[in-house]
Amino acid sequence: MKKIMNSPDTLVAEALEGLVISFPQYLKQVPGTHVLTRATPKPAGRVGLVSGGGSGHEPAHAGYVGYGMLDAAVAGEVFTSPTPDQVLEGIRVADHGAGVLLVVKNYTGDVMNFDIARELAEAEGIKVATVVVNDDVAVENSSFTTGRRGIAGTIFVHKIAGALAEQGASLEEVEAVANRVIAHVRSMGFALEPCTVPQAGQPTFTLADDEIEMGIGIHGEPGIERQKLRSAHELAQSLLEKIAMDLPLKAGDHLACMVNGMGATPLLELAALAREVSLWSKSHDMPLDVVWTGEFMTSLEMAGASLTLLPLDDTLRTLLAAPCDTPQLRQGVHHD
């Protein structure tokens, strides 16, 4: 294992300090916690948004703390849900009198720890609503299991719900729009190379030179199927077909797409994948209104990518295009 760190035990705490040092105009740390919040708090009366989860997914989630997106991000250990007391600190700092929306990715640990935190916050009289993102189509959705995982589609939820919260909408309205995104956003990813959890020191799975792991999550866990490496064209095709079938999509649907790198994939390759998405959408008569290409929700130094599609209506398109100003995402900032 080769990583830039002093020790696996201090990596998360040191990185949080480093994020504040790197983005002081956006972020400050709630003292004594693993919670990063806005350097300039949102005005009173607006709904607060809190997300979080294990570390190792940077820029998620602290990278999305700022105007038009999150109010606080709670970081756990690498790939480990944060604890309820930490989430509670995030809720407290994000509450500006209009309640707080928790955006949780659908993992057993995250769901339980955020639930306990919500119970604690409600006992303090803070109004809290929770939405659970489950965009990963690789995992079969069955009511008898844990259900689908939450992956990169979560960032579209941050963006859209965050934009509505900034306009002064009520907690119920912000929750409803978040759930509307969740109902329609779908993703799927694959790995070319595994990642190594700092505490473990060994990769969580191994792949031969010509193998990929299809349907991976974002925690270095194995995916659903091992396959032979294929061309960018074929990879995009198989992910998009699976996503389109799940939704289902139809000709004429307008789409937002996220081409997300897993941590060690060059922009060169992500851009090639973005081109394939565009070709696919043209051939299926589904206009691509929005394309985000880059690293949004990573899995340490895993090589690979995920694709996310979100069919847009007028409301979702407007909120997705609304201004935001965060360490990772800046749009609608006007020049002379």
Residues near another protein, by CB under 8 A: 54, 76-86, 107-109, 112-113, 115-116, 138-140, 144-146, 149, 197, 199-200, 202, 204, 217, 219-222, 224
Q: Taking the complex as a whole, how short is the minimal distance between the CB of residue 198 and another protein, in angstroms?
A: 10
- Among 34, 61, 184, 219, the one annotated catalytic: 219
Closest CA to 36 of 68, 71, 81, 67: 71
Q: Taking the complex as a whole, how short is the minimal distance between the CB of residue 197 and another protein, in angstroms?
A: 5
Cite the DSSP H helix spans in 231-328: 232-246, 267-283, 314-321
> Is position 34 annotated as part of the catalytic site?
no
Q: Would you call 8 helix, strand, or coil by DSSP?
A: coil
Compute the distance between CA of residue 167 and CA of residue 180 in angstroms, rounded to an integer.
17
Cite the DSSP H helix spans in the chain: 11-22, 84-94, 108-123, 154-166, 171-184, 232-246, 267-283, 314-321
Residue (108 or 231) nearer to another protein, CB: 108
Q: Taking the complex as a whole, how short is the minimal distance between the CB of residue 334 and another protein, in angstroms?
A: 42
Q: Which residue has the tokens 């077909």?
A: 241
- Among 34, 57, 158, 184, the one annotated catalytic: 57
Vertex 153: Cα angle to 149 and 157 (nearest 5): 115
Q: Count other Cβ atoms within 10 Å, centred on residue 40.
A: 11
Compute the distance between CA of residue 43 and CA of residue 48 in angstroms, rounded to an integer.
10
Q: Count other Cβ atoms within 10 Å, centred on residue 265.
A: 22
> Is position 57 annotated as part of the catalytic site?
yes
Q: Taking the complex as a whole, how short is the minimal distance between the CB of residue 230 and another protein, in angstroms?
A: 21
Name the phi and psi angles at 131, rounded to 5. Answer: -120, 145
Q: Give the pair of three-digit tokens for residue 14.
A: 């040191």
Compute the distance between CA of residue 143 and CA of residue 323 in angstroms, rounded to an integer.
37
Q: Taking the complex as a whole, how short is the minimal distance between the CB of residue 199 and another protein, in angstroms?
A: 5
- Residues with active-site annotation: 57, 219
